[in-house]
């Protein structure tokens, strides 16, 4: 194709009205048809339209708000955990401040596209860096306990929660992804094939499509599957030693320990198999979300049953079961659910 033919092709496309294109690898179109047929007419169309928005990367405002809301939970969790340590080091204040900044940036990004692309992006980057720094400090804290890493089980259980800072970074990860997406009101795809777009880009710029473009088009399913594996591992490990402290007094305390590796396995299968991403992954993701909600109920009940109950609520929240930890485990399921709704990367 020479330059003249390319220009004529682009001009011809521009004259035609914009239409939605269903790519050949878009397995979600069958799901949309199923929803429209089996749900009540208004609800079915709304759910199918929302699914299309997600798969095409047009949910920036929704994910920005989700990142802000998850940052509230993570910020409250880290606030009272560091309060137990009397904020002995000034660096312990950084996640508290950044969680507030993430919440503000997420809400601002919901209302303003510029804020979602700039403020939310850089606040998310700073929060991710702070999460890594916090992880190093927690590893050092375990090493400084009597016996250090020669007594790994005792010191991991009784020391600072080793993977908690990385779980704190989940909200920042969502915010960073949201900053590259398109808002819900963005126009739909026009009648240009992905191959032609890549050809035009290579002809004029001489390079491949960037990964940010894949994110803007909702093509990051495998990327999200990897994030699901990591977050499920971190959260499952936290649940393991947290419940180990209580000697697994209730059988329900085994559920996150069992569901976490199953969710990791489902996400790993989804990296290689699109079918697994549409079948196994959503089942395990929903199981993690439900289990997180049930765990939150149990933890809230545990706080209310401590001596003093609601009369000493702040004290019981500080020294009772971690109130919002189950909801952070549910966030792993949300990541998996988002992954199953995405489209596959081009490469």
* Secondary-structure breakdown of the chain: helix, strand, coil percentages, each rounded to the nearest 5: 75, 0, 25
User: If you search the block for the tokens 């950084």, which residue do you land on?
Assistant: 94
The pLDDT tens digits for 251-284 are 999 999 999 999 999 999 999 998 999 899 999 9
- pLDDT, residue 309, reads 80
Secondary structure class of 207 (helix, strand, coil): coil
Distance CA(34)–CA(29), nearest Å, equals 9
The pTM score is: 0.80
Q: How confident is residue 11, by pLDDT bands cut at 50, 70 and 90?
A: very low
- List pLDDT tens digits, range 16-68: 444 444 444 444 555 555 555 555 666 556 666 766 777 777 888 899 999 99
Q: How confident is the model at residue 344 (pLDDT cuts 50, 70, 90)?
A: confident
> What's the pLDDT tens digit per position in 158-177?
889 999 999 999 999 999 99
| C-beta separation of 274 from 27 below 8 A | yes
């Amino acid at each position: 194709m020479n330059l003249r033919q390319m220009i004529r092709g682009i001009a011809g496309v521009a004259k035609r009205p914009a239409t939605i294109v269903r790519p050949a690898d878009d397995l979600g179109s069958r799901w949309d048809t199923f929803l429209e047929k089996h749900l009540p007419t208004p609800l079915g169309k709304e759910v199918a339209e929302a699914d299309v928005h997600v798969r095409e990367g047009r949910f920036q405002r929704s994910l920005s708000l989700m990142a802000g809301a998850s940052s509230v939970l993570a910020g409250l969790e880290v606030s009272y955990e560091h309060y137990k340590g009397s904020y002995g080091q000034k660096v312990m204040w950084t996640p508290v401040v950044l969680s507030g900044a993430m919440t503000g940036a997420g809400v601002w990004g919901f209302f303003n596209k510029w804020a979602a692309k700039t403020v939310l992006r850089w606040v998310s980057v700073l929060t991710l860096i702070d999460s890594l720094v916090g992880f190093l400090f927690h590893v050092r804290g375990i090493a400084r306990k009597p016996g250090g890493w020669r007594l790994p089980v005792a010191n991991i259980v009784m020391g600072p929660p080793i993977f908690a800072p990385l779980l704190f970074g989940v909200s920042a990860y969502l915010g960073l992804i949201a900053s590259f997406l398109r808002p819900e009101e963005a126009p739909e795809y026009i009648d240009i094939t992905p191959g032609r777009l890549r050809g035009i880009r290579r002809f004029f710029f001489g390079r491949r499509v960037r990964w940010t473009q894949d994110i803007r088009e909702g093509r990051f399913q495998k990327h999200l599957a990897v994030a699901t594996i990591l977050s499920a591992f971190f959260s499952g490990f936290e649940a393991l030693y947290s419940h180990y402290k209580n000697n697994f007094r209730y059988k329900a305390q085994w559920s996150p320990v069992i569901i976490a590796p199953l969710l990791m396995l489902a996400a790993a299968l989804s990296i290689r198999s699109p079918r697994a991403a549409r079948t196994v992954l959503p089942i395990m993701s929903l199981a993690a979300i439900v289990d997180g909600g049930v765990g939150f109920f149990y933890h809230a009940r545990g706080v209310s049953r401590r001596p003093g109950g609601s009369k000493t609520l702040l004290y019981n929240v500080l020294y009772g079961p971690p109130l919002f930890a189950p909801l952070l485990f549910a966030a792993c399921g949300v990541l998996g659910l988002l992954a199953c709704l995405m489209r596959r990367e081009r490469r």
